[in-house]
Amino acid sequence: MSKKQHYNTDNQFYVIGNNATKLDRDYNAYNSDSINENNLNEVRRNKAHRRVVKRYKYKLKFSLILCLTMVMCLIMIKTQFTVSDRCDNIAALENRLNNLKKNNKLIEESINTNIDLNKIYEVATTKLGMVVPSKNQINRLDVAQNSYTEQLTDITQPTQQNNDFNNIVSFILTKGR
pLDDT tens-place string over residues 31-61: 555 556 667 777 778 888 888 888 888 889 9
Q: Is residue 42 part of a domain?
A: yes
* Integer Cα distance of 29 and 176 in angstroms: 143
Q: Is residue 112 part of a domain?
A: yes
- Whether 31 maps to a domain, the answer reads no
Asked if the structure places residue 162 within a domain, the reply is: no
Whether pTM exceeds 0.75 = no
pLDDT in tens, 61-89: 999 999 999 999 999 999 999 999 999 99
Is 109 within the bounds of a domain? yes
- CA proximity to 21, closest of 2, 46, 6, 40: 2
> Residue 42 belongs to what domain range?
38-132
69 found inside a domain: yes
139 SS3 class: coil
The answer to whether residue 167 is domain-embedded is no
Number of domains in the chain: 1
Question: Does residue 19 sit within a domain?
Answer: no
